[in-house]
Copies of this chain bind each other. A is one copy, B any other.
């Protein structure tokens, strides 16, 4: 009932890369006689740039960490595969709330759009945590050659995920823009300094 881990890595890598690249479809300009000048439109697209960069960076981080976690596993079982597909469902969904933020930020409906965006990240962080905790609890699926210190370091790196994204959700009550900026900051600072790689 167990299988090697390379098995779901290729598929996961594909979904990560495609979801990230589909984010570009969030960028929209309007043409026609009544459309504002293109330069004006491109400047007013800044919520799209922010949402695009935030989602792309975040998928990049998840992809790097995913790869790193899978490398510590000796095998996968059915539950892990199930959790992995749940994670991919959320990652594959991300282009939709990203487009919502790109469309609604600084306009009527922005709060709802950012709630949807932040809720997606919270859900992603929860499932990702469950995924890792299932694999690592009692070293259930961990390769015996991987030292305990590595497993603990990864778990420590996962710990702040849910609270951090929960905080962005709370910040959206006060300011949707600040919430997206915080989500971006989490990604931008997390990427190079991921405790995950600090062994």
Task: List the interface of chain A (C-beta within 8 A of B).
Answer: 1, 3, 7-8, 10-11, 13-25, 27, 29, 31, 37-39, 42, 52-53, 56-57, 60, 63-64, 67-68, 78-79, 81-82, 85, 88-89, 92-96, 100, 103-104, 109, 112-113, 116, 191-194, 197-199
Contacts and interface: CB of A to CB of B under 8 A. Distances in A.
Contact of A197 (B3, B39, B192): B3
A145 to B, nearest CB: 16
A78 B197 contact: yes
A23 B92 contact: yes
Given A17-B15, A38-B104, A81-B64, A24 B93 contact: yes
Contacts of A103: 29, 31
A27 to B, nearest CB: 4
30 contacts: A1-B197, A1-B199, A3-B197, A7-B67, A8-B64, A10-B10, A11-B13, A11-B63, A14-B16, A14-B17, A18-B18, A18-B22, A22-B22, A23-B92, A24-B94, A37-B112, A38-B100, A38-B104, A38-B113, A39-B112, A42-B112, A53-B89, A56-B85, A56-B89, A56-B92, A60-B88, A78-B197, A81-B191, A81-B192, A82-B191
A13 B23 CA distance: 17
B1 A116 contact: no
Chain A contact surface mostly: helix
Contacts of A11: 13, 16-17, 60, 63
A103 B193 CA distance: 41
Contact of A56 (B52, B79, B88): B88
**Top 7 nearest A-B pairs by Cβ distance?**
A14-B17, A38-B109, A18-B21, A60-B85, A27-B96, A38-B112, A39-B112
